[in-house]
Structure formats: C-alpha cells, structure tokens
Chain A
Amino acid sequence: MFWGVDIGSTYTKIIGIGKEREIVHSAVIPTIFNQDVIVGEYLADKEVKMLVATGYGRYMLEESHGAPVISEIKAHAKGAYFFEPSVATVIDLGGQDSKVIKMGESGSFTDFRMNDKCAAGTGKFLEIAANRLGLDMQTFAKAGFAYDKELTISSMCAVFAESEVISLIAKKESLANICYGVHESIASRLASMARKFVVKEGETIVFTGGGALNPFLHHMLELKLERKIVIPKHPQLMGAVGAALSGFEVVN
C-alpha cells in the first residue's frame, strides 16, 4: 500500500492507494497535538510500502517516521491532475492558507500564488464567521443562496471582518445576506489571486481543499471568474492523494 498523509492546520487527510493507483483507504481526522503519533497509530496495523507526507505538519512525519516530504503545492497539483487530467489551474482553499496553482505538463506545476501571512482569504475566515453566526459549516455554506441584498465585507483582516459581521448582525441584516457577504469577500480574494493564471476560455479550473466542500463558495467563485469550475470527487483529499501518488511513482 502506498500512503499519502496531508497534515493540514485543521484536518489530517490519509490516503492509501493500491497497485492500480486505486484508492483503498481514506480517512479525515482532526489535527490536534502529536499528530505524527496519531498517524502512526492509524497505520500501525496496515501494510506500508511507502509513506509520503505533505501539508503544514509534514516535517513531523519526516522526523518521526523518516517519511519523504513534498510541498502542498506539488501535492495538490498531482492530486488534481489525477482526477482531472485536463486541469490548467487549481484553486485550493485550506484552513490556514489559500493557493492558486498554474499547471504544467503531466501533473507538474509551473507557477503558484499563495496568501501572505494573514488569515483573510483562508478557511479560518469562514470558520470564524460561521461561529459568530452560530451556524455549523454545512448550514452556513447553504444559507447564502437565499440572499436578497449584496452586502460586502470590506475588511482586509479576518479579525476585523469578524467585527464587521458583528456590526451587520446589530444592524439586523438577514442571516442569508451576511452569509452572502462573507462568501463574496473570500471569493473575490481567491478570484483576484486566480485571475493572473486563468487566461484562456475553455481551460479547466479545479477547486480543491476543505473550502471546495462549500457549495455557495463554489457558486460565488464561478460568478467572479465567469467560468465553470470543476470540483473533483474528494476535494479535501487532493493533497494526500498527490503525496501517495508521488510515492507510487518513485517505486514503480
């Protein structure tokens, strides 16, 4: 079994692929303390031919298990290519970062952009807003569809954006409209990062990461970029799949 582990800031994704590159195991577990130990326990009773780590916590696995590491950028590019070979641009929204990857040939990447140190434009931003509104992520991600007013959240900073949400609540704006505003703000940010790479009509854009599980964000992103955006089967697992595939390629 070829394993790929993506230790992200919020969740750890584990993927095991077999001889035909088929996905045999997949798991998503919250990232807490000593995540390398938890991953080790998960793999303890399984056959491990290869283990490749990626994500924010990849070096923990390098240190404890001697696992080779690849960057999230490379991992996401590889994963997206596996599910969508026509992919030209990947937009990824994770818990603490967002990135746009321009693809090269056969699953390699040629350029990328990533948010600077700041939570604006990351999954954390959505999480904070949902919390403040007292909604779970699923409800939050659907509530926006019912908007009837285009509210905008103008703050650059996630912390200030939270206070902006609070002031909108105080103004008795509707839940749907506030949800719209939050999603609009993050979609604009992602779109402006992506616009540099998304050039040709008809090229495939793939949306990955935990953020891609959010249907309203997907919708807003399509509106902003005026393009259809594909979401692969397991958007959250792209990095782990990419890691597993790189290990597979080295051995085979």
Chain B
Amino acid sequence: MGVEQHKDLLGSIGVDVDRHAKMMAMGLDAYKAQFLGQPNRPKAMEYFDWFMSEIQGQRIAEINQLRAEKKPAVGTFCIFVPEEIVVGAGGACYGLCGGSNATIADAETELPRNICPLIKSAHGFKLQRTCAYTQSSDFIYGETTCEAKKKAWEILAKHHPVHVMNIPHMKREKDLKMWQEEIEEFKEHIEGVIEKPLSLEAMKEGVRKVNAKRSALQRLDKLRSSNPDVMPISGKDCLWITQVGFMDDIERYTAKINELCDELEERVREGVSVFPKGTPRLMALGTPFAPPNWKLHTAVENTGGCVINEESCIGHRYFKDNVDIEGVESEEELYARLMERYSKIDCACFTPNTGRIDKIVQMYKERQADGVIYYTLSFCHTYNVESHLVTEAMAKEGIPCLVIESDYSPEDAGQIKTRVEAFLESISFKKKAQAFANK
C-alpha cells in the first residue's frame, strides 16, 4: 500500500517510518472494518476508499512535489485559516493529524492531562513524528480560539515552525479591523515562504477554487439531508468525505465530490436509500470529528439511526459560506471580503454566539430532522459550556437532544452506544405514536 511505496520520502521528511507504518496499518484496518461493510454504498465512494489507502502515501508525495516547486504547504487545526491565500499561491493547505488516541500518552510528557484530546493528539503526532502531513508542512498555522491551543503553540513551536494568527473572541468593529490585519499578515507570511510577491489575481483564483470546493460540499450536504425518506449515502461516508476535504488536492477533490453528487442525485430521483424508510435522522452538533474519530457515527448508524449533517468544523461550519469577490479590485477589498466571510463562522470561541443557535433550529426544520446529538470533546470548554444554551433552546423548540461528552479513548464506546440506542428508541416511539395518533 501507499506508505510502503513512499518509505524513502517519508524517511527524508523525518517520519518515524516503522512506527508510522504500524499506525497506518491499524488505521486502514479500522477503516475497512467500519466503512467497507456498509450496504449499498455509492460507486463514487471508491475514490474516497482509495484516498484512505494513499492518505499518508501518494498524497504526501504530491505535497512534497509542491514544496519542491517552492509552493507553500500549510498545516492547520482550525477553519479560520484563510486557505484561499495558500491555494492562490499554488500550495496546499491541509488539516493535521489530531484524532487518534495513540499519540496522547506521548503528548502528556509536555502537556497537561486535562486539556482537549485534539490538542494532545496533534502535539503527540509531532513528538512521535508519525504524521507525514505535519512533517511535510512549511509551518503550522496556529490560532487563538482557546486557551489550551494558544499556550500549546508555544511548546509546539520548539519542535516545528508555527505562525499564530490572533482570532478575536468578539465581533465588534475594532475586533474585525484587527482580524483583517491578521489576514494581511498571513499573506505576507506566505510570501515569505514562496520568496516572491503574491498577486491579487492569484489570490482571487485561490478564492474561486475554494468557493468551488465549498459549493460542492454544500451540494452534498443538501443531497444527503433534504429528503426525509431517501438517504442516498450514509452519514459516516459523508463524514469521511468531509475529513478527506481537509487533506486532498483541492481541484481533484471538488471534481470527485461533484461526481458523487451526480450519482446521489440519480439515487434521490430513483428513491435509492441506504437506510430504511422511517430511520431516525439525526444532526450531530458541536466539536469537530478529526479522523479517525468515527465513534459517534458508528454508534448511531450501527444502532438503527442515521446522521444527516455535522454542525461542526469538520462539517457544515467549514463549508456553509463562500467568499464574495464580485467587483473586488484591490487587495484591501479582498481582505475585507475574506474577513467578512471568516467572521460568519459561528465558533463557540465567540461571545455572544447566539447566531449559532438560531442556525441550528433553522437547519433542523429545513432538514426535517428527528433529533440532535450535541457532541463535545472533554475539556473543550467553549463548546461544552455553550451546550447549555443550545440544549435549552432545543427544549424550548421541542427538539429531542442528547449530549455526549467523550474523548478519543475507546472505553466509553459501550456507554455511548447505550445512550444512542435509548435516544433512538425514544425518537422511534415518538414517531410511531405520532403516526398512530394521526391515523
């Protein structure tokens, strides 16, 4: 498979090749076990299965090819990074490994135990040198969305170049002004990597490419969730597809998503569903699912439910807004448009963040969902605290809501399954009782 073939390259960028190969083999086994057995998967999933086998192989070779051409490779952990600028410079902007339990023990040699598993996992990958994406990056883009992250960057910077962008926690005019300056500085930082100026036209081209990718993901989101009787693709497959979007080549990925969507459109027309009619359809809200964190989707979809949307950073929050570059003629205007777009992100790091709650209710109604699961990683204080406001609003709207707090360790899989099962039972009962009453 991919990793074997690229052993020399992986070694040359400092990957701990043997350990990495072992971890990748385990990851691939987990993927096979959890994904390949799903019934009636769309044919276009073949590409995304292939991607899994080359995730730390061919894709890493591609990224290093770009670097050889003096194009930037930027590793990220957050959707606030203005990736349009990186793509405009011909480079790759991708998410780094941070979803595995296997690196946490190493991270805890430098980081406290009681911070979010995503930060610990990512830090551990760098210490172990087992993420080829981290090893391939010119720098890691850090941001200030939470206390643990912004301090952990200082420690991570001892092992790898880090560029920190100051993301404000309020959206007042003065905050946005500062934000826009941060975007401009990010562009200058990229120019430092490529050692030449980046033109307005190139950045606009970057925006067009990223917009096309987001539009494709919006299309997929609609197709998987808008017909309550036809779910043409599983939620778990969609989660994986979205996760791939944080690593893959942007143009190839966009084309593959659109290909998949053509197939799904056909399925919706013909009523081909991968779940039986009446299957409870749930939205997943909250913190991101970094691969290989498929725990919640597996629990839901193995227990008689399906996930129709992720209101999450690896999900709807990432792709819901495009950048409007209509009539942009100066760099200044472009930064303002980028800022305008990025400030629509309803991350729980903002106070207040009430727009998020209104959006959730609206999404729930539009998609005729049957319930929501609020998923929060342990020690993600912002999303965890905000869950109170969200669940309160859900109760007011009569929306069934289950809150699950978890990390990457497997011990609570049984408990989660019990809770999901009971939640689905109560929804099914409600659905049946309503149908009975309507008769």
Bound CA span A96–B413, Å: 13
Residue contacts A-B, CB under 8 angstroms, 18 given: A71-B421, A71-B425, A72-B418, A73-B418, A73-B421, A73-B422, A73-B425, A73-B426, A97-B415, A108-B426, A110-B426, A111-B400, A111-B426, A112-B426, A116-B378, A117-B407, A117-B409, A117-B415
Residues A108 and B419 in contact, CB atoms below 8 Å apart: no
0 or 1 for each of B382-403: is its CB under 8 Å from A? (1 = yes):
0000000000000000001000
Identify B422's interface contact among A74, A96, A116, A117, CB under 8 A.
Answer: A74
Residues A56 and B414 in contact, CB atoms below 8 Å apart: yes
Residues B411 and A70 in contact, CB atoms below 8 Å apart: no
B412 adjacent to chain A (CB < 8 Å): yes
B403 to chain A, nearest CB (A): 8
B75 to chain A, nearest CB (A): 30
Contacts of A97 in B (CB 8 A): 415, 418
A249 to chain B, nearest CB (A): 13
Which one of A71, A96, A97, A108 has the highest number of Cβ atoms from chain B below 10 Å of its Cβ?
Answer: A71
Number of interface residues of A (CB under 8 A): 17
Contacts of B422 in A (CB 8 A): 71-74, 109, 112
Bound CA span A104–B421, Å: 17
Bound CA span A72–B422, Å: 8
Bound CA span A70–B411, Å: 21
B406 adjacent to chain A (CB < 8 Å): yes
Contacts of A111 in B (CB 8 A): 400, 426
Bound CA span A112–B407, Å: 21
B429 adjacent to chain A (CB < 8 Å): yes
Residues A108 and B429 in contact, CB atoms below 8 Å apart: yes
Given contact pairs A116-B405, A116-B406, A109 touches B426 in the complex (Cβ within 8 A): yes
A107 to chain B, nearest CB (A): 11
Bound CA span A71–B407, Å: 23
Residues B418 and A117 in contact, CB atoms below 8 Å apart: no
Bound CA span A227–B429, Å: 30
0 or 1 for each of A35-75: is its CB under 8 Å from B? (1 = yes):
00000000000000000000010000000000000111110
Residues A117 and B425 in contact, CB atoms below 8 Å apart: no
Which one of B418, B421, B429 has the highest number of Cβ atoms from chain A below 10 Å of its Cβ?
Answer: B418
Contacts of A56 in B (CB 8 A): 414, 418
Give the dominant DSSP class at B's interface: helix
A115 to chain B, nearest CB (A): 8
The 10 closest A-B pairs by CB, nearest first: A73-B422, A117-B412, A71-B422, A71-B421, A116-B405, A74-B425, A114-B419, A108-B429, A71-B418, A56-B414
Contacts of A73 in B (CB 8 A): 418-419, 421-422, 425-426
B69 to chain A, nearest CB (A): 47
A73 to chain B, nearest CB (A): 3
Bound CA span A116–B400, Å: 18
0 or 1 for each of A89-115: is its CB under 8 Å from B? (1 = yes):
000000011000000100011111010
Q: In this complex, what residue of A is CB-closest to B405?
A: A116
B398 to chain A, nearest CB (A): 11
Residues B425 and A70 in contact, CB atoms below 8 Å apart: yes
Contacts of B405 in A (CB 8 A): 116-117
A116 to chain B, nearest CB (A): 5
0 or 1 for each of B183-211: is its CB under 8 Å from A? (1 = yes):
00000000000000000000000000000
Q: In this complex, what residue of A is CB-closest to B406?
A: A117
B394 to chain A, nearest CB (A): 11
Contacts of A108 in B (CB 8 A): 426, 429
Contacts of B411 in A (CB 8 A): 117
Which one of B378, B422, B430 has the highest number of Cβ atoms from chain A below 10 Å of its Cβ?
Answer: B422
| Other A-B pairs beyond A71-B422, A117-B407, 18, CB < 8 Å | A56-B418, A71-B421, A73-B418, A73-B426, A74-B422, A97-B415, A104-B429, A109-B422, A109-B426, A112-B419, A114-B415, A114-B418, A116-B378, A116-B404, A117-B405, A117-B406, A117-B409, A117-B412
Which one of B409, B421, B426 has the highest number of Cβ atoms from chain A below 10 Å of its Cβ?
Answer: B426
